[in-house]
């Protein structure tokens, strides 16, 4: 069903690989974790992000970039180049239902039915480096080293303390890390964004004087909960959010409209979050606590930007910046998890193991997240946030910066559709190599399903997918199909009706008004596209 061109020759198990370094660019993918659409300055945010904004000013903002609804499905799609239901992350690890357990595509790790783009770039003569969050398998055989990275320092689980190895989940005693495949401990004076940047710089330095380009995958854990940041960064935002999340929604919307990211007639949609409280109805202490949560979150984004600046500065001083493609994006929409209401990190466990007194919030030993109301502000005017197949869960901020390229779009906003499935084939094209098709070193693999954006990046095409494209998503029975401007969405209660609904995103970006009755032919086309997607990708819906 998914109408993407395949990259490579499906029948040739040993494609010709060009290992000559001439003009092949370095490739650096920087992935933020759970960062909302409008958090950075270039996308309308009030958070100080001068280095990311500089990337946008010298590159292009992709306003219609789509990921998966949660982190590990996105990561599997980025690296495998195929739908998460085929790559092993049909749902999050340990979330498989009885009907899904043991089924292909629901392994809970990136399976060996796919070949990592890192492995193919490694075969093509690239140095390959990875630092940060992996979340695609815990064993050495499933580690970054086993999937094509020369050097790596990886957090294996979905999150951790940012100052130490405190676990994010009640089921673990602590977070796990691997360096080059082997279990590793954290150094003293650790802070996540600083350390992962240091490691990436160190890895690149080891080979900076040879003739081989590099592929770097820098997967920050900021601003994923537990929210923690250096105190001086938190202090920068003291009082910044005292007007509350509804005021922030309006401020962000106005900023995005002024930038041209959102049309002038778009309005803030009603909250879809149950038990949403009016800010003015909160107690003064609750307002104080919730303001502090957002202050810490902003501090994490600000601090991440600072460390991105350090990496950019190193690339510039080492003479590598002009030959480096940089892509910056978030892995999914803003995280709207509500404090203590998830069985993986229940309130009783938080209360028993962490100090969430006001003075300790954001410091080592605290465990807090900013909840659904701030997440809605980060996602507005889109509907909902991480975990949902709505625009607020799937559409992410994206920046492409490629020195000497994209000159006609420099500093602009590009509204064309693009997906994370397009990244792997793009990287291979730029590396002048190909996917092997259906056979990789003697094992059967699935060809990439995205479409290379290399022609767009090189200025020989104005588009990646043209005017006709189809894409579908599913996670935890929350499903959607997008076909051009049409979007079909199915959401279980209480966040949806439980039935398929149809929207036109051009007129209704907030997915508010169901128009399937008025458009029966389009609705039937979308249903057919969904059925094709289920069959092609082996989707097994969770039990009702």
Instruction: List the CATH number of the domain containing 215.
Output: 3.40.720.10
Beta strands in 67-168 (DSSP E): 127-133, 151-155
- From 400, 416, 432, the end of a domain falls on 416
3-state SS of 298-361 is: HHHHHHHHHHHHHHHHHHHHCCCHHHEEEEEEECCCCCCCCCCEECCEEHHHHHHHCCCCHHHC
443 — phi, psi (to 5°)? Answer: -120, 150
**What is the reported pLDDT for 15?**
43
Alpha-carbon distance of 364 to 162, in angstroms, equals 8
Residue 56 in any domain: the answer is yes
**What is the reported pLDDT for 28?**
98
- Give yes or no: residues 168 and 303 share one domain: yes
- Give yes or no: residues 190 and 275 share one domain: yes
- From 381, 416, 451, the end of a domain falls on 416
Residue 7 in any domain: the answer is no
Residue 49 in any domain: the answer is yes
Residues with catalytic annotation? Answer: 71, 135
**What is the reported pLDDT for 8?**
32
- Give yes or no: residues 239 and 384 share one domain: yes
- Give yes or no: residues 277 and 185 share one domain: yes
**What is the reported pLDDT for 341?**
67
- Give yes or no: residues 400 and 489 share one domain: no
- Give yes or no: residues 200 and 282 share one domain: yes
- Give yes or no: residues 214 and 356 share one domain: yes
Q: Which domain holds residue 489?
A: 477-544
Residues 6 or more apart whose CB falls under 8 angstroms from that of 57 comprise: 42, 410, 411
**What is the reported pLDDT for 93?**
87
Alpha-carbon distance of 314 to 346, in angstroms, equals 42
**What is the reported pLDDT for 255?**
97
Residue 544 in any domain: the answer is yes
Number of domains in the chain: 2
Taking Cα atoms as reference points, which of 390, 446, 326 lies closest to residue 10? 446
SS3 content of the chain, % helix, strand, coil (to 5): 30, 15, 50
**What is the reported pLDDT for 52?**
98
Residue 12 in any domain: the answer is no
pLDDT along the chain (544 residues), means of 10: 34 41 86 98 98 98 97 97 96 88 94 98 98 96 97 96 93 93 96 98 92 96 97 98 95 96 91 72 93 98 98 97 97 85 83 95 95 94 95 97 93 96 98 96 95 93 90 95 97 91 96 96 97 96 73
DSSP state of 35: -
Instruction: List the CATH number of the domain containing 499.
Output: 3.30.1120.10
**What is the reported pLDDT for 3?**
36
Residue 68 in any domain: the answer is yes
- From 363, 391, 416, the end of a domain falls on 416
- Give yes or no: residues 282 and 404 share one domain: yes
**What is the reported pLDDT for 340?**
60
């Amino acid at each position: 069903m998914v109408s993407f061109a395949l990259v490579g020759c499906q029948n040739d198990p040993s494609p010709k690989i060009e290992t000559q370094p001439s003009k092949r660019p370095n490739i650096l993918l920087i992935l933020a974790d759970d960062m909302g659409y409008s958090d950075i300055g270039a996308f309308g945010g009030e958070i100080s992000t001068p280095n990311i904004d500089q990337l946008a000013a010298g590159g292009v903002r992709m306003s219609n970039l789509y990921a998966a609804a949660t982190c590990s499905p996105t990561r599997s799609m980025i690296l495998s180049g195929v739908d998460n239901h085929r790559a092993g992350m049909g749902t999050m690890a340990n979330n498989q239902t009885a009907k899904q357990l043991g089924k292909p595509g629901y392994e809970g790790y990136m399976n060996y039915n796919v070949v990592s783009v890192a492995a193919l770039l490694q075969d093509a003569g690239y140095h390959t480096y990875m630092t940060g969050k992996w979340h695609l398998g815990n064993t050495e055989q499933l580690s970054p080293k086993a999937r094509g990275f020369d050097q790596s320092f990886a957090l294996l689980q979905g999150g951790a303390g940012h100052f130490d190895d405190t676990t994010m989940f009640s089921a673990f005693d602590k977070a796990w890390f691997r360096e080059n495949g082997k279990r590793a401990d954290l150094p003293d004076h650790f802070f996540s964004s600083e350390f992962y940047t240091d490691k990436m710089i160190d890895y690149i330095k080891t080979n900076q004087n040879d003739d081989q380009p590099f592929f770097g995958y820098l997967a920050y854990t900021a601003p994923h909960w537990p929210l923690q940041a250096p105190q001086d960064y938190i202090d920068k935002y003291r009082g910044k959010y005292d007007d509350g999340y509804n005021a922030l929604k309006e401020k962000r919307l106005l900023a995005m409209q002024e930038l041209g990211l959102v049309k002038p007639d778009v309005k803030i949609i009603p909250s879809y979050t149950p038990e949403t409280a009016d800010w003015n109805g909160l107690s003064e202490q609750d307002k104080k606590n919730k303001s502090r949560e957002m202050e810490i979150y902003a501090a994490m984004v600000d601090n991440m930007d600072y460390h991105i600046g350090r990496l950019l500065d190193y690339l510039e001083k080492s003479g590598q910046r002009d030959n480096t493609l940089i892509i910056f994006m978030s892995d999914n929409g803003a995280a709207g998890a509500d404090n203590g209401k998830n069985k993986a990190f229940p309130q009783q466990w938080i209360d028993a193991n962490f100090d969430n007194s006001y003075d300790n919030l954001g410091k080592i030993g605290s465990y807090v997240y900013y909840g659904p109301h701030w997440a809605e502000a980060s996602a507005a005017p889109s509907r909902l946030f991480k975990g949902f197949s709505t625009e607020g869960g799937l559409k992410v901020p994206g920046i492409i910066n490629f020195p000497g390229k994209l000159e006609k779009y420099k500093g602009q906003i590009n509204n064309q559709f693009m997906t994370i499935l397009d990244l792997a084939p793009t990287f291979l094209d730029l590396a002048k190599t190909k996917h092997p098709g259906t056979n990789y070193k003697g094992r059967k693999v699935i060809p990439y399903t995205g479409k290379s954006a290399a022609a767009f990046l090189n200025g020989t095409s104005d588009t990646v997918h043209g005017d006709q494209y189809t894409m579908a998503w599913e996670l935890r029975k929350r499903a959607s199909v997008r076909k051009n401007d049409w979007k079909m969405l199915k959401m279980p209660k209480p966040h949806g009706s439980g039935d398929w609904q149809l929207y036109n995103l051009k007129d209704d970006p907030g997915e508010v008004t169901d128009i399937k009755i008025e458009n029966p032919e389009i609705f039937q086309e979308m249903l057919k596209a969904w059925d094709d997607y289920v069959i092609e990708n082996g989707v097994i819906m969770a039990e009702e």
